[in-house]
Amino acid sequence: MQLPAERRTYGPLSDSLPESGEEPDKVLDEVCARMVEEGFHVPSANYFGLMNPTPTYMGVVGEALVAALNPQLATLARSQLASKIELETVRWVGERVGWNGPFSGTFTSGGNEANFSGMAMALAAKFPQAVEDGVASIGGRAVAYASAESHHSLDKSAGLLGIGRKGLRRIPLNAKLQLDCRALEEAIRQDLAAGARPFSVIATAGTTNCGTVDELEDLSATCHRHALWLHVDGAYGAAAIFSDAHRHRVKGIELADSITIDPHKWLAMPFAAGIVLTRHPEVLERTFAVAAPYMPKAAGAKLPDNSRISAQWTRRMNSLKLWITLRVHGRKAYEELIDRQMGLALDFAEWVRASDSFELVAAPVLPIVAFQWKHRNLSPEQRAAIHNGIVEEITGDGRRWISETQVNGRSAMRMMVISYLTEERHLGELEAALERAAKRLSKETADVEL
């Protein structure tokens, strides 16, 4: 999957800018060989890493078509079919959410941009004047709420939107590692009493570390009580809507005002493909539409120009790969993928439960398993050092990949089933490698008082 640890380097390449060209065969042979030999292969059955999938074949074909035809998504007039395909794909996804009233949405470069768009809409919904006059016109500090485990793209967005990163209140977790609804109520109450202007709650459906899903129905009720916009960051977990058997895992997602879902995570699309959806099409336009006289106009247009509903202007067609995959394989293929990956991850969690060396950090809700070394009387530093040692041992030969992270401030190891190539035997091999690492560690630490 990648070079063994001792052969990995991270410095820059040093070739100078070519003045004249070389034979394409030679260049392609060289780059292909090096990308394979020296690359880090996300599309591997043994990639148990972050939310990066093995792309579907149809997705790869779709990408090549888009690169060659280069449709310009900014205006409907210059991308009739491309725009229609894009909006149809958005409609298919929105219908799976369970929305049957009006809704809209747009493809993005990924979850970061989709979350930014959701927060920008939330701000424009509550404070319409801020779109033109800026956050200074709000008359109080604008604040939004998300859990301590929500993704860091939200901090970036808060900074970029001008509410400041401190304007994103990080709410503590409950025992299930979800946003604690009571702590949220208390934070809103304190902010209101201090003259701040709350505008949004950002729930997570599938946290990066553990795959936890916040209590979406309760958060929706809180949002109603305080007239706040509910954005659900389902960059990873919202894809569960494609499985009839597992959609209950993101129950309540249909109550959101806007949703992030990244096809380049669980839906196995090549980068880049994110989507932001909203039940408030008018707010999407309010947030992003800018008139530009030079833009070509489509006579009798029934669909919006994409530049009016997106943070981007010129835009790549990120939808074709998903549309083609759905046309060729159908929604049920995703159902199968999701069901199988859930099953594999739950089996791995059972193995952890039965292990003498490891234990779960949380019961898995989605195919992400966070686990830790079982010894209890460890300092946080000792625990992190042990976890990092195990991860290095597992990943050292370059054949498989898991990671170390912090869950609610405590070191944990983390694996997820994300490649459609992963089968039971790959998990068996991972388990055997973890056993070997555990045996070595137990031996090494036998004489040390832990």
Ligand X SMILES: Cc1ncc(COP(=O)(O)O)c(C=O)c1O
Residue 181 makes CB contacts below 8 A (sequence gap 6+) with: 174, 215, 218, 219, 222
Q: Of the ranges 104-112, 129-137, 336-344, 438-446, which one interacts with ligand X (CB under 6 A)?
A: 104-112
- In the bound state with ligand X, the residue whose beta carbon lies nearer, of 153 and 325, is 153
Asked if 120 and 311 count as a contact pair (C-beta separation under 8 A), the reply is: yes
Backbone phi, then psi, for 190, in 5-degree steps? -65, -40
**Is 106 among the residues that bind ligand X (CB under 6 A)?**
no
Min separation Cβ 374 and ligand X, Å: 27
Asked if 150 and 204 count as a contact pair (C-beta separation under 8 A), the reply is: yes
Residue 295 makes CB contacts below 8 A (sequence gap 6+) with: 74, 75, 305, 307
**Is 209 among the residues that bind ligand X (CB under 6 A)?**
no
Min separation Cβ 197 and ligand X, Å: 25
**Is 110 among the residues that bind ligand X (CB under 6 A)?**
yes
**Is 319 among the residues that bind ligand X (CB under 6 A)?**
no
Contacts 24+ apart (CB under 8 A), 369-373: 369/345, 369/414, 369/415, 369/416, 370/209, 370/210, 370/405, 370/407, 370/412, 370/413, 370/414, 371/412, 371/413, 371/414, 371/415, 372/410, 372/411, 372/412, 372/413, 373/438, 373/441
Q: Of the ranges 21-29, 200-208, 354-362, 426-434, which one interacts with ligand X (CB under 6 A)?
A: 200-208
Among the listed residues 46, 72, 79, 112, the single contact to ligand X using CB under 6 A: 112
Min separation Cβ 235 and ligand X, Å: 3
Asked if 52 and 263 count as a contact pair (C-beta separation under 8 A), the reply is: no
- In the bound state with ligand X, the residue whose beta carbon lies nearer, of 94 and 237, is 237
E strands in 8-147:
104-108, 142-147
Min separation Cβ 263 and ligand X, Å: 10
- In the bound state with ligand X, the residue whose beta carbon lies nearer, of 75 and 108, is 108
Backbone phi, then psi, for 407, in 5-degree steps? -105, 120
Binding positions for ligand X, 265-284, rule CB under 6 A:
274
Among the listed residues 215, 254, 262, 305, the single contact to ligand X using CB under 6 A: 262
Among the listed residues 72, 208, 222, 319, the single contact to ligand X using CB under 6 A: 208
**Is 236 among the residues that bind ligand X (CB under 6 A)?**
yes
**Is 404 among the residues that bind ligand X (CB under 6 A)?**
no
Residue showing tokens 């195919």: 367
Strand, helix or coil for residue 297: coil
Question: Would you give the binding string for ligand X spanning residues 127-166, x where CB under 6 A is met?
Answer: ------------------------x-x-------------
Q: What single DSSP character describes residue 47? A: B
Binding positions for ligand X, 332-391, rule CB under 6 A:
none
- In the bound state with ligand X, the residue whose beta carbon lies nearer, of 311 and 438, is 311
Q: Of the ranges 221-229, 232-240, 323-331, 409-417, which one interacts with ligand X (CB under 6 A)?
A: 232-240
Min separation Cβ 347 and ligand X, Å: 23
Residue showing tokens 């199968």: 336
Binding positions for ligand X, 32-91, rule CB under 6 A:
51
According to DSSP, the β-strands at 274-278 and 358-360 are unpaired
Residues that bind ligand X (CB under 6 A): 51, 110-112, 115, 151, 153, 204, 206, 208, 233, 235-236, 262, 274
